[in-house]
Amino acid sequence: MKIIIIGGGIGGLATALSLHQAGIEARVFETVQSLTALGVGINIQANAVRELSELGLADEMAATGLATANLGYFNKHGQEIWREPRGRAAGYNWPQYSIHRGEFLMLLARAVRARLGEENLLLGHHLESFHDDGKQVTAHFIDRRTGERIHTEVGDALIGADGIHSVVREKLYPGQAPLHFDGMLMWRAAVETAPFLDGRTQAIIGHQGLRFVAYPMSGQAEKNGRSMTNWIAELRVPGDTPPRADWNKRVDKSAFVHLYKDWKFPWLDVPAIIDATESIYEFPKVDREPLAQWSQGRVTLIGDAAHPMLPTGSQAGTQAVMDSRHITRALQEEKNAESAFARFEAERRPLMSEITLRNRQLGPEAAMQVVEERAPGGFKNVEDVISKAEMEEITGSFKKLAGFDREQVNTRPPIVKPHA
C-alpha cells in the first residue's frame, strides 16, 4: 500500500514516520519551498511523547525540548490558584515536553529524510486537486509561486494533514463556514529570560478577558542557567470576525504591552518580558465546527485539517501525533484503506469533536475564570474562593477526555506494532 500525505507539518511528518515503522510506503508533499523552524512554543503531552518515544525519537525530544514539571494557574495579581505536577513529576512514564514548534518540526523532518529517504519528502509541492476512482487516488500538485502544475502522484490512499486552511477538507466538504472565532487574539513570541519559579513551570495567568501564558521550552538554555521563555499574551476583542489566521503574521508590541503594565509579580515581570522581545506573531483563537464525517473512500483528514481546536489545554500538536498513530494502526490491521479510514474515524472523530467543543468552554482553565469572578481583587487563601475538590474535578475530567489520564497512558498497550 502506498499513502500520499498532504502537508509536512507535525501531523504529516509523524504519520510518515509511523507508516514507515509499520512497513507501509508513504510520501509527503509540502507547499513551502524549504522547511525552516517556524513558530514558537508548543506543548506535547505525555501520551504523545510515549508515541514519539516508540518511534525512536526520545533522545532527540529530550535534547531539543524541556521536560515540564509543573502547570500553574495564577490570578491577574500573580497569586497561585493551582499547581499540579506534569509528565514524569506526575508519575507518567514519559515526560511532557515544552518545545519550540519549529525545532520539533525540523527534528521530525530529519528523521523522515533519514528513514524514508529525501525523495519521500517533497517540498514546493502544493496540492491543487485529487481524484479517487474507487481503486486509487491521483493527486495533482502546483508550484504555488507560479501556479504551474509540476507533478502528479498516484497512490492507494490520501491523507490530508494540511492544517487549518486544509485544501483536502475544502475539496471533500466544499462551502464550509468561515473559521469560528473565540473572540481572543493571541500574541505569541519567545525570548531568553532569567528562569522563573522552579525553571520548569508552565504558568497561565489572568482570566477569560486578559491572559498571559509563559513557559520555558529549551533544555539547552536551562543548561546555560537561562530560560528560553515562550509567551502568549491573550486579549478578548470585540466583533465576530477574526483577523487573518496566519501563523507567520508579525505585529508590534505597542498594540498591547500597555494592557499588562501592572502585571509585575515577584516571580515574573510581564511588561519587562514583552519589552525584551523582538519578534511577535499574532494569531486569532479560532477553530472550525466539528465535521459530521472526515473520510470519503480512500481520502481522509488528520490533525488541524480534521479538527482544528482552540489551544485550551495545549492539545493541537499532541492530538496530531495521536492521529498519526491511530491511522497507522488502522491501515496496518484493516484489509484496505477505505475500511482503515472508517475505523480511524470511528476511533477518533467523536472524541476530537468533543474536545473541540469542550475547549470553547475554557476546559481546565475554567478555574481561572471562576476565581476572577469570585475574587477579582485577589485572595488571602485560595481555598476560600475555590475548593481543592472543585479544582480537581475541573482539571481531572479534562485529562480523561483528552486521553492523557496517567493510568491510561502508562498501562495501555502500544498503538502501533513495528513491522518485523
Ligand X SMILES: Cc1cc2nc3c(=O)[nH]c(=O)nc-3n(C[C@H](O)[C@H](O)[C@H](O)COP(=O)(O)OP(=O)(O)OC[C@H]3O[C@@H](n4cnc5c(N)ncnc54)[C@H](O)[C@@H]3O)c2cc1C
122 binds ligand X (CB under 6 A): no
| Candidate residues 17, 18, 19, 39; the one interacting with ligand X per rule CB under 6 A | 39
Instruction: Please give the grid coordinates belonging to residue 384.
Output: 476560600
Residue with cell 493510568: 407
Quick one: 247 or 379, whose CB is closer to ligand X?
247
Shortest spacing between CB 388 and ligand X, in angstroms: 30
Count Cβ atoms below 10 Å from residue 136 Cβ, excluding itself. Answer: 16
Q: Which residue has the cell 477569560?
A: 208
Whether the Cβ atoms of residue 302 and residue 160 lie closer than 8 Å to each other: yes
**Is 287 among the residues that bind ligand X (CB under 6 A)?**
no
Stretch that binds ligand X, among 23-31, 87-95, 220-228, 375-383 (CB under 6 A): 23-31
Question: Is there binding between residue 245 and ligand X (CB under 6 A)?
Answer: no
Q: Cα separation of 85 and 399, whole Å?
A: 13
Quick check: 43 and 71 in contact, CB under 8 A? no
By the rule CB under 6 A, 284 interacts with ligand X: no
Q: What whole-number distance in Å separates Cα of residue 283 and Cα of residue 42?
A: 14
CB of 27 to ligand X, least distance (A): 12
The site map against ligand X for 100-119 (x = CB under 6 A) is -x------------------
- Site residues for ligand X, window 180-199 (CB under 6 A)? 188
In whole angstroms, what is the distance from residue 188 CA to residue 141 CA?
32
Q: Tell me: does residue 304 bind ligand X (CB under 6 A).
A: yes
3-state secondary structure of 208: coil
* Residue 247 found at the interface with ligand X (CB under 6 A): yes
Q: Which of 3, 4, 5, 12 binds ligand X (CB under 6 A)?
A: 12
216 binds ligand X (CB under 6 A): no
Query: Among 5, 8, 76, 416, which residue sits at the site for ligand X (rule: CB under 6 A)?
Result: 8
CA–CA distance, 152 with 31 (Å, rounded to integer): 14
Only one residue has cell 475500511, namely: 339
Cβ at position 101, least distance to ligand X in Å: 4
The H helix count followed by the E strand count for the chain is: 13, 21
* CA distance linking residue 141 with residue 33, whole number of Å: 13
Minimal distance in Å, beta carbon 15 to ligand X? Answer: 9
Nearer to ligand X (CB atom), residue 12 or residue 78: 12
Compute φ and ψ for 184, nearest 5 degrees. -110, 140
Residue 317 near ligand X by CB under 6 A: yes
Distances (CA, A) of 16 to 19, 100, 129, 164, 323: 5, 21, 21, 19, 12
Q: How far is the CB of 38 from ligand X (least distance, A)?
A: 4
Using rule CB under 6 A, residue 364 touches ligand X? no
Looking at 51, 103, 132, 162, which residue binds ligand X (CB under 6 A)?
162
The helix/strand/coil state of 67 is strand
Identify which of residues 11 and 206 has a Cβ nearer to ligand X in the complex: 11
Total binding residues for ligand X by CB under 6 A?
32
> How far are the Cα atoms of 54, 283, 317 from residue 179, in angstroms, in the given order?
35, 12, 19
Shortest Cβ 167–ligand X spacing (Å)? 4
Interacting residues with ligand X (CB under 6 A): 6-12, 29-32, 38-40, 42, 101, 126-127, 161-163, 167, 188, 247-248, 303-305, 311, 316-317, 320
